[in-house]
Structure 1
Amino acid sequence: MAAKRQQLLDFAVLGLLHEAPMHGYEVRKRLDLAIGPFRALSFGTLYPALRGLVAEGYLSERAAATPTTSRRPRIVYQLTPLGRERFAELARGADEAAYDDEGFALRVAFFSRTEGSVRLRILEGRRARLEERLATLREEHGSGDTWSRLLTRHTEESLQRDLRWLADLIAAERGSPVHPGTLTDPSHPAFQAPGRATT
């Protein structure tokens, strides 16, 4: 696994285990459900990563108290104090990897454990990245056949929607004035995943 993706996976696992100890199957299920870059993650990738985190002292492991039908005991992984420090160190990072499609989705998943100043840098970096993408798209607008133009328009609308979502989050981080109740309402677009409409 490439070093960048390995670091993302380590960050994701340490972040999940901040909540509670989990066995490998539960970690994989949570990654599949909640964190974009690691949907459909194989056990062949996850278990070596867990073993590596144990070897580095970031996780401890123990046999589950509840027996299973399998002959092998189910292993439960728990964050160590060193693992908490490592997660905090990774959460303080705000390099370009935090702005790309995979890194950004993962970082937002753990924003509740990220310092406000770091959240703001990541949000602003992501906004700059999408603004560049939108500008490039507009330069090429109108080229190609009808279907290509339709796809371009759809992509442009998606980028604009994501940029509005980011603008709401940035305003909240900066403490900018907002309309009463705007960011306290869970149905507000700022609390929805980009591209997901509210009902």
Structure 2
Amino acid sequence: MATKRQQLLDFAVLGLLHEAPMHGYEVRKRLDLAIGPFRALSFGTLYPALRGLVEEGYLVERSTDGPNTSRRPRIVYELTEHGRARFGELAGGGDDAAYDDESFALRLAFFARTEGTARLRILQGRQARLEERLAAIRRDAASGDSWSRLLTRHTEESLVRDLRWLAELIAAERGSSSTPGTLTDPNHPAFQPPRLGAPN
């Protein structure tokens, strides 16, 4: 059975290849730059994952160089229809793991290709997870020395900002249809950075 991290990597690769076929180096670069859980991902981890997805029929390999060239062929990976269907299955899943810090960030990165009902479920799950974390922190807010209390206050304020942002995303999602990528206006408050400062 695949580990949680392997499942996340498969999901990330399938999501990236929705955009266009890519060679392994480009996939690694995109994962390294854009998606937090896979920063500094090694080729020793990526290529076995790509081969596994090819073997499962989710990807196909294509050579970008003709047979008469002296250059070593570059292998480009392309999503199959089976792979698109698999990504849809993974994107639609909303188990508890989707609400974790690294899983949620990855799921959010591919919300444009996730059905609205799944987006809303994941946002609400993340909201509940952070509300539980905030309640636990507030219960213990008075414990520890002045430095630990300062750190606790900083964490509390960060959670409040994240919860405010999630509430805006949820409100916007409830006002949209179930079509993937509906929330596209960059001026919508939900797309703005979380506001700094102490909570109201």
The aligned amino acid for 1:27 is V
Q: CA RMSD for the aligned pairs? A: 2.5
Q: Which runs of 4+ in 1 moved over 6 A?
A: none
Superposition deviation, residue 184 in structure 1: 7.4
Stretches of structure 2 lacking an aligned partner (at least 5 in a row): 177-182
Task: Describe the SS at the equivalent of 1:41.
Answer: coil
Q: 1:196–1:111: structure 2 CA closer, same or farther, 3 Å change rule?
A: farther
Partner Cα distance (1:184, 1:107) in 2: 17
Structure 2 residue 150 is the aligned partner of structure 1 residue 174: no
Superposition deviation, residue 186 in structure 1: 2.7
Superposition deviation, residue 141 in structure 1: 0.2
TM-score (structure 2 length as normaliser):
0.87
Structure 2 residue 148 is the aligned partner of structure 1 residue 148: yes
Structure 2 residue aligned with 1:137: 137
2:63/2:73 contact within 8 Å kept: yes
Superposition deviation, residue 64 in structure 1: 2.1
Superposition deviation, residue 62 in structure 1: 1.4
Structure 2 residue 91 is the aligned partner of structure 1 residue 91: yes
Q: 1:73–1:196: structure 2 CA closer, same or farther, 3 Å change rule?
A: farther
Task: Describe the SS at the equivalent of 1:141.
Answer: coil
Stretches of structure 1 lacking an aligned partner (at least 5 in a row): 177-182
Partner Cα distance (1:119, 1:13) in 2: 19
Partner Cα distance (2:15, 2:142) in 1: 44
Partner Cα distance (2:195, 2:123) in 1: 16
Task: Describe the SS at the equivalent of 2:144.
Answer: coil
Structure 2 residue aligned with 1:65: 65
Partner Cα distance (1:48, 1:193) in 2: 37
Superposition deviation, residue 193 in structure 1: 5.8
Structure 2 residue aligned with 1:157: 157
Structure 2 residue aligned with 1:191: 191
Partner Cα distance (1:23, 1:184) in 2: 29
Task: Describe the SS at the equivalent of 2:76.
Answer: strand
Superposition deviation, residue 188 in structure 1: 5.4
Task: Describe the SS at the equivalent of 2:40.
Answer: coil
Superposition deviation, residue 84 in structure 1: 0.6
Identity of aligned residues (%): 81
1:31/1:39 contact within 8 Å kept: yes
Task: Describe the SS at the equivalent of 2:60.
Answer: strand
Partner Cα distance (2:146, 2:125) in 1: 33
Task: Give CA-to-partner distance per residue, 1:56-108, whole Å, 9 cap, x none.
Answer: 11000012239xxx964221100011101110111110110110011100110
Partner Cα distance (1:25, 1:196) in 2: 37
Structure 1 residue aligned with 2:7: 7
Structure 1 residue aligned with 2:46: 46
Task: Describe the SS at the equivalent of 1:76.
Answer: strand
Q: Give the number of aligned pairs.
A: 189
TM-score (structure 1 length as normaliser):
0.87
